[in-house]
Amino acid sequence: MHIICLVKFVPDVSAFNYDYNTSSMVNTHTKMVLNPDDVHALSFALQVKRKWPETYLEVVSMASPSVTVYMHDLLRLSVDKGTLLSDPLYAGSDTYATSEVLGTYLKGQHYDCIITGSRSLDGATSQVPAQIAQMLGLDHLLDITEVDMNHLSSNEAQCTVETDTEIQTWSIQMPAVLSFARNSRAKLPYPTFEALQKDVSGKLFMISNQDLGLKRDSVGLEGSLTKVVHTYEAENMSRAKTVVGVNDEGIDLLVQFLEKRGYL
């Protein structure tokens, strides 16, 4: 089986710093992490490869070259090939323009199955997997929680999808786009010490717009259909921390705080 796994690296929201004086995010030194839904998708692909070692696994990401070190880490996990779609023209792409870039690349590739996460941590629209499926003329399943390894082949996959009200089992014809819901139990395996020492740069391929040949006005900000009307600061980010001492004054303040919110 030939699997292509689409992944995105997103800012690590747990490591954000907030400047309470200027009410702004401090983005310096922000770390990137693999999008949690994509972790689920990739961990599934690696399970498939463990069970059927002849499986060919390619990881594709559209990002700036700064994610190269993170792509290298994925290539140390028995991923066969990494592809980074990267061009300054792609900066500012919305989900439509992103799907355009990814879809154009995928049109020229061989695959039995395209897998990815359903939502990205920094966007959460879940539009990209569906748009890619449409561009490629494939079926698509959103929010997969499990794929039955006993009913998985290059022709068909049996998948479980959980909605708010029910658990559904679907059988889907391959090739297809399977997008995975977040699963906090899904973890990528550890690379071995030996794998960490390996130079894997030869397995990572950089693809620019020169290779894909997309028109300038179909990508990046120009090619984006999304128009930002207004931005606002999430209310919870403006809450300042209050440090109280272990004294009568501090205890009174804490009690008032809890009473005001109905905890006492």
Partner 1 sequence: MRNERIMEHLESMLEPTQINTDAADLYDASADRYKKYAKARNVLDVPPPLAIVYPKSSEQVSDLLVFCNENLINVIPRAGKTATEGGLENWKEQTLVIDTKLLDKIIKIDTYNMQATVQAGVPLQELEDELRKEGFTTGHSPQSKPVAKFGGLVATRSIGQFSTLYGAIEDMVVGLECVFADGHICKIKNVPRRSGGPDIRHIAIGNEGTLCYITEVTVKIFKIYPENNTFLGYLIHDIDTGIKVLREVMVNGFRPSVARTYSEEDAAQHFYHFHKGHCVLLFMAEGPDLIVRATAKAIEEAVEKFQDGIIEQVDSKHIENWFNNLNWSQQDIDDEFEGMKEHDCHSGFTTEISADWETIPKIYYSVMKRVREEYPRAHDLTMLGGHSSHSYINGTNMYFVYNYDIRCAPEDEMRVYHHPLQRIIVEETLKLGGSMCHHHGIGKFRNEWTKQEHGSAYYMLEKLKEAFDPNGIMNFGTIFYQEAGAKYQ
Chain positions contacting partner 1, by CB under 8 A: 15, 17, 19, 21, 26, 31-32, 69-70, 73, 190-193, 196, 241, 243, 245
Please state the closest distance from residue 9 (CB atom) to partner 1, in A: 11
Output 16 or 52, the one with its CB closest to partner 1.
Answer: 16
Output 61 or 179, the one with its CB closest to partner 1.
Answer: 61
Output 72 or 138, the one with its CB closest to partner 1.
Answer: 72
Please state the closest distance from residue 23 (CB atom) to partner 1, in A: 13
Angstrom distance (rounded) from CA 124 to CA 127: 8
Output 239 or 241, the one with its CB closest to partner 1.
Answer: 241
Cα angle 106-109-111, degrees, rounded to a multiple of 5: 95
Output 99 or 183, the one with its CB closest to partner 1.
Answer: 183
Size of the chain in residues? 264
In Å, how far are 13, 43, 59, 106, 183 from 38, measured between CA atoms?
16, 8, 11, 17, 10
Please state the closest distance from residue 98 (CB atom) to partner 1, in A: 23
Output 28 or 210, the one with its CB closest to partner 1.
Answer: 28
Output 82 or 191, the one with its CB closest to partner 1.
Answer: 191
Please state the closest distance from residue 254 (CB atom) to partner 1, in A: 16
Please state the closest distance from residue 242 (CB atom) to partner 1, in A: 9
Please state the closest distance from residue 190 (CB atom) to partner 1, in A: 4
Please state the closest distance from residue 250 (CB atom) to partner 1, in A: 11
SS (H, E, C) the chain: CEEEEEECEEECHHHCEEECCCCEEECCCCCEEECHHHHHHHHHHHHHHHHCCCCEEEEEEECCHHHHHHHHHHHCCCCCEEEEECCHHHCCCCHHHHHHHHHHHHHCCCCCEEEEECCCCCCCCCHHHHHHHHHHCCEEEEEEEEEEEEEECCCEEEEEEECCCCEEEEEEECCEEEEECCCCCCCCCCCCHHHHHCCCHHHEEEECHHHHCCCHHHCHHHHCCCCCCCCCCCHHHHCCCCCCCCCHHHHHHHHHHHHHCCCC
